[in-house]
Amino acid sequence: MAQAKRGEDFEKTKGSPDNFTGNVFIQNTGKVEEGATVLRVTFEKGAHTFWHKHTGRQVLYFLEGKGRVQLRGQEVINAVSGDVVQIPPNTDHWHGAHPEETDHMSHLAITSGELTWEEPVADGEYTAK
Ligand code: MN
């Protein structure tokens, strides 16, 4: 039988300043299969992850606001509600609110594998046109 759980009932955990710039709130919305997590991540104005990679694939499904994703060495990708960005395994990248977003951006992060955190995103990279 299908189960419904209301959005406001998912506990919010604040992202660590060791891994994120700015205010980020993470809601674990459940596993879809062994090893795959489904997180709703909300980035307030100016917030974004540090560089990182996952040993498995990651799918980012954008829900609200304007966001950005960048794979190392590639042009930045801008994303809005309804857009889906696929991150290949073992690929350095970051994601977060678009620098011009004045409220917040939220996405679902559907992820498998282990996560390795790297260095903060340089300001010039974050705000690149
Ligand atoms: Mn990621």
- Centre of ligand 1 from the C-alpha of residue 126, in Å: 15
Between the CA of 102 and the centroid of ligand 1 the distance, in Å, is 22
- What burial letters (b/e) apply to 44-54, b meaning 16+ CB within 10 Å? bbbbbbbbbbb
pLDDT in tens, 53-89: 999 999 999 999 999 999 999 999 999 999 999 999 9
- Cα 86 to averaged position of ligand 1 atoms, centre (Å): 10
Cα of 66 vs centre of ligand 1, distance in Å, is 17
Q: What domains are defined for the chain? A: 13-121 (2.60.120.10)
Encode burial over 82-110: b for 16+ CB neighbours within 10 A, e otherwise.
Answer: ebebebeeeeebbbbbbbebeebbbbbbb
Is it the case that residue 23 has pLDDT exceeding 70?
yes
Distance 122 CA to ligand 1 centre (A): 17
H helices present in 1-129, as ranges: 123-126
Distance 64 CA to ligand 1 centre (A): 17
| Spacing, Cα 1 to ligand 1 middle (Å) | 31
Q: Residue 52: what pLDDT?
A: 98
